[in-house]
Amino acid sequence: MNKPLRRIAIFCGLLVLALLVRANWLQYVDADELNTNDRNRRVLIDRYAYERGNIIVDGKPITGSVKTDHTDFAYKRTYVNGPMWSPVTGYASQVFGANQIEKLEDGILSGNSDQLFFDRTMSMFTGDEKKGGNVVTTLSGAAQKAAFEGLGSKKGAVAAMDPKTGKVLALASTPSYDPSSFAGSAKEDEKAWATLSAKDNKNKPMLNRALREVYPPGSTFKVVTAAAALEHGKVKDINDPTDTPQPYILPNTRTEMKNMSGGCENATLMFALQISCNSVFAKLGDDVGRDKMLETAEKFGFNDAELDTPVRAAKSRYNETMDRPGNALSSIGQFDTATTPLQMAMVAAAIANDGKLMKPYMVDQLVAPNLDVISKTKPQEMSRPLSGENAQLLQQMMENVVEKGGGKNAALGGGVKVGGKTGTAQHGENNAKNPYAWFISYAKTGDGSPVAVAVVVEDSGAERENISGGGLAAPIAKAVMKAVVDSKR
């Protein structure tokens, strides 16, 4: 063979080798990525070729599938009481994709997960139609209903969890939306999507406020400041005077810290939480110092950018670089402090659980179509923000708020102790907008605490002077706690 032919043969051989390498690369390396790519229409068609598995609450499905006459998509997703459950389920649409549990557990729900390989193989031999597996949640239907109906026409959110395990019991957000309205591919579905997702839709119905919105926590954050003061030895006895002057001037400024009620001068920590003294907690925050305040806040979960439930929650924030007056203001839940409702439920839960914070989760089990359990979530301790002794002191203080302070609307009676803290968070330029109404709480029976709750009412339509955590948010928290306690009896 002459030299030119030899070169051509070698070049052709290299081309064939390159094709073989590329073909094998696509087959074995890129296969998973291509199979899950939303732009792969064959994957989309396959996803809706069979009945999708369901998301389960209290043993019953809150989702379903219905047969369609579409040429490509044999089935369409349906939802039971979609607006109430959408903060949990998310949506699964033939055109607009999926989010939240519907997306995160799509492999199980669609039946395409490697964990379901055995089921798919067996169905080839038995002739059974392919089916998706189920996602069993930790949610309580009664608690979710109480939260959703309690919010009603108000804009806001509720998060509730079991302090002992971290199980999420309720996750409500209003205004909400019905995922069924755009689950298909008809013109009506496109119109519904366009309306719901429009940037000029001020209600933001598709925003999961319980997990993805951050708010100034206002006075509910004072329990974190109290925890920091106890943990770092700035307060030895919750019934001793705190040596707080009246007026209290913010450090390095001439700005007086205003209180909404009298009696804050040298108030005890117990009484200061009861009447929510700004001056006492601003001074305590300064006494503890930014770094120690930051340490305590982060033990409660603030500044954690990867809190997955499995839906990822937005990061709650306690500023790491602010000056002394900024830290004092942050210690009463203002300035740059911002939090999700879930984060404040975690604060209440850690206190109720004697200082132990459990990681929140809302998927209990993944179940195969034949009902075999594929995986089960185990409760996981996240941190110890405060000692058991100090947690019990804070329980005394929070229970006093419900007995004698602004949290009376959350009392359950019947031998159930309730601890809580109100909050009214100013926001907007020069605090011009209506404040947010907050309430965090827990209920405690003879068997311990089965539920901790955080409620924020962002907009209720009430006049500014009528907005308060005790008036607007506490009754919602009470309804959620009652639903959980009653379900345990």
Report the DSSP pairing between strands 60-61 and 63-67: unpaired
- Give helix then strand counts, H and E, for the chain: 18, 18
Cis peptide before 247 (omega within 30 of 0): yes
Kindly write down the DSSP assignment for every residue of 230-272, as one continuous string: HHTTS-S-TTSB----SSEEPTTS--EE--SSS--TT-BHHHH
- CA distances (Å), origin 90, targets 177, 315, 351, 453: 10, 20, 30, 22
What is the Cα–Cα distance from 349 to 359, expressed in whole angstroms?
A: 10
From the list 158, 19, 177, 168, the residue with the least C-alpha distance to 85 is 177
From the list 91, 74, 263, 101, the residue with the least C-alpha distance to 168 is 101
Active site includes 219? yes
* Helix axes 388-404 and 222-231, enclosed angle (nearest 10): 140
What is the Cα–Cα distance from 134 to 405, expressed in whole angstroms?
A: 45
Say which residue the tokens 């609450």 belong to.
57
What is the Cα–Cα distance from 76 to 65, expressed in whole angstroms?
A: 5
Residue 5 and residue 13 in contact, taking contact as beta carbons nearer than 8 Å: no
CA angle 45, 48, 49 (to 5 degrees): 80
**Helical segments of 333-431, H only:** 341-352, 388-404
Residue tagged active-site, from 173, 185, 219, 330: 219
Q: Would you say the C-alpha torsion 8, 11, 15, 16 has a positive or negative sign? A: positive
Positions marked catalytic: 219
